[in-house]
């Protein structure tokens, strides 16, 4: 006997399928509409924010020009000259300092509202100043230039960082900070170049030849505080950081503080390639400095952990400096 033919679904059985399909298509259409609507609102919000910023800049500029009694960029430059030294004074009270900060931010907002029209006056004012004597005003002019034309500001900051314009160690560090934000890769390359070619004693001409550039002005040399270049270099996030800092460690002409900064960074990065070099520095330090030797101990243990124990125990037995022996005991947990 043959099997009975399968019964076809009745029309009422198809109703749930049709309803589900209709609901799914409806939800899909609603989702697409919502996404489009959200993007449109975002664009409108961005445009509205830009318009409000423009209005704020114009109103702020008019207020500052009126209080300065001078129209246009010259009025803003006059206000900047007034407030720049206040933000560097140690005698200003905290409320006055906050007030000066707010006013300086208003000045920068007003400069941004002028756009590239303010670039020429800012550059003209910078040409009248010296990097060493006029540091406070110059550093704020850098920030005004950045607000006015970030792209044009990059070559200016590059020349300052390399010590070829407005020579001053402190301005070079200011330029490093701004350049990292504007062009991180360029900042990495330039700061690496400085660490390769310079020390607190000056420029190594042989090393500098590889970069085919003018040497920094002597006034730009950081005879004290060269370690600040290491700090800004680390903040730049250079992918070649380990090999660059290892190179710095290998140069005997670097000052102790610069070496210590490199030790701390390499330890934090747990750079195993640094171990042999750190051990050599501990055995033959550039000068007998207990602080430097303690940094070596800390770096070795941070990088190697318990694997550093044999070297450190031997160092503890052979050192003539009791404070170093005590520090090694503390690091290794001996006697605790």
φ, ψ at 44 (rounded to 5°): -65, -40
pLDDT block averages, 10 residues each, the chain of length 336: 52 56 62 62 56 55 66 90 92 91 93 93 97 96 97 97 96 98 98 95 85 85 94 98 96 93 97 97 90 96 97 95 95 83
Transcribe 107-155 into DSSP letters: HHHHHHHHGGGGHHHHHHHHHT--TTTTHHHHHHHHHHHHHH-HHHHHH
DSSP code of residue 71 = -
Q: What is the predicted pLDDT for the residue at 288?
A: 83
- pLDDT value, residue 252: 85
- In this prediction, residue 302 carries a pLDDT of 97
Model pLDDT, residue 13: 56
């Amino acid at each position: 006997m043959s099997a009975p033919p399968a019964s076809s679904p009745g029309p009422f059985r198809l109703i749930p399928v049709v309803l589900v399909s209709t609901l799914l298509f409806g939800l899909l259409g609603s989702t697409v509409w919502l996404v489009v609507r959200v993007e449109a609102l975002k664009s409108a919000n961005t445009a509205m924010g830009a318009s409000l910023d423009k209005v704020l800049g114009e109103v702020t500029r008019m207020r500052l020009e009126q209080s300065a009694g001078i129209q246009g960029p010259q009025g803003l430059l006059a206000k900047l000259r007034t407030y720049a030294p206040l933000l560097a004074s140690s005698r200003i009270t905290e409320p006055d300092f906050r007030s000066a900060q707010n006013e300086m931010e208003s000045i920068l907002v007003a400069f941004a509202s002028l756009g590239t029209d303010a670039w020429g006056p800012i550059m003209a004012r910078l040409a009248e100043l010296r990097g060493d004597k006029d540091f406070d005003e110059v550093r704020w002019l850098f920030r005004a230039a950045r607000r006015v034309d970030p792209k044009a500001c990059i070559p200016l900051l590059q020349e300052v960082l390399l010590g070829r314009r407005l020579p001053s160690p402190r301005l070079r560090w200011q330029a490093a900070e701004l350049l990292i934000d504007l062009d991180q890769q360029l900042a990495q390359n330039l700061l690496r170049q400085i660490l390769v070619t310079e020390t607190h004693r000056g420029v190594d001409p042989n090393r500098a030849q590889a970069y085919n550039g003018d040497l920094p002005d002597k006034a730009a040399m950081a005879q004290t505080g060269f370690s600040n270049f290491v700090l800004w270099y680390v903040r730049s996030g250079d992918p070649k950081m380990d090999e660059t800092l290892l190179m710095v460690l290998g140069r005997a002409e670097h000052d102790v503080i610069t070496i210590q900064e490199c030790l701390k960074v390499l330890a934090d990065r747990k750079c195993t390639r640094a171990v042999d070099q750190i051990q050599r520095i501990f055995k033959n330090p550039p000068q007998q400095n207990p602080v430097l030797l303690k940094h070596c101990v800390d770096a070795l243990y941070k990088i190697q952990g318990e694997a550093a124990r044999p070297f450190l125990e031997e160092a503890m037995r052979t050192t003539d400096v009791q404070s170093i022996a005590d520090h090694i005991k503390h690091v290794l947990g001996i006697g605790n």
